[in-house]
Structures are given as structure tokens and as C-alpha cells.
Amino acid sequence: EIPSDFASSRGKLPMPLQGRILTEEPSSQGGLKGITVEGCPGAEVKAVYAGRIDFSGTLKGYGEIIVINHGSRYFTVSAQLAQRKRHEGDMVKAGEVIGFLGKSSSTKDARLYFEIRKAGKSLDPLTWFGSLSKSER
């Protein structure tokens, strides 16, 4: 059973990764609207909310990617993973590990690309996280 109250968690979601949010630049890949979070190589990437894994695989431009369906047409996208830990059809709870960061090819840092979407439109994830300190904003 997929939860349907994702919208009520706006401003309260945990971060998918312990790390620093990098300032977003307009994307060269044509309108990616998520955020990039810098973490340690091998760091755990977690589900920010309960839901069902709708896609777990590799996509051009995104690398290893997991898409979680949170009900009411809300989805979160975690991309640029080094390793996926969950598979399509799996149910996950908030805080459950879905994958791990790797080293990105362009830098020595590990980075996660994260998006929140509703019905195909990208939403600003920064308005959904609860406990961002000023340094992370």
C-alpha cells in the first residue's frame, strides 16, 4: 500500500544523504531541476519517505538511478548512485537505505542528484526538507 499523505510532509522531509547541498547552476543537460548533494564516497543514500520503487536501473545522463513512488503522483529521484540496493516493486520506509554514493568521474567528491516530482513536474526540493541549517541552504 503506497502512502498518500506525502504532501503533508512538505518542510519536514529528511535529507536523502548526509552532506552539503551544492548551489544549483542551470543544467547543461537541459533542465534537470533537482539538487546535487555532496557526500563521502560510499555514503548511504536513504528514502526520504515511504513508497514503492518504480524504477531501479541505469539511465543515460543519470547513471544508476532509483525512482520511488510516494503516492498521489509524487515521486523522488535519486541518481548518480554507485550502487543500488533496492529493486523495482520493493516497498521502502523513510530512512531505509536505497543505495550508496560513489566517486563521481569529474571530481574526487561523491555526489547525489535528487529530485522531487509531482505528475511529471519538478518541485524545489529545498522547500521540502525540514532541518536544513543555514549553511546547507
CA dist 118 to 7, 20, 46, 85, Å?
10, 24, 19, 24
Summary mean pLDDT of the chain: 87
Strand partners, 92: 51
The kind and range of the H/E element at 66 are strand 63-69
- Could you tell me the pTM of the whole model? 0.87
Q: Which residues contact 86 (CB under 8 A, 6 or more apart)?
A: 53, 56, 66, 92, 96, 98, 99
Q: pLDDT of 84-131, one tens digit each?
A: 999 999 999 999 999 999 865 555 568 999 999 999 899 989 899 986
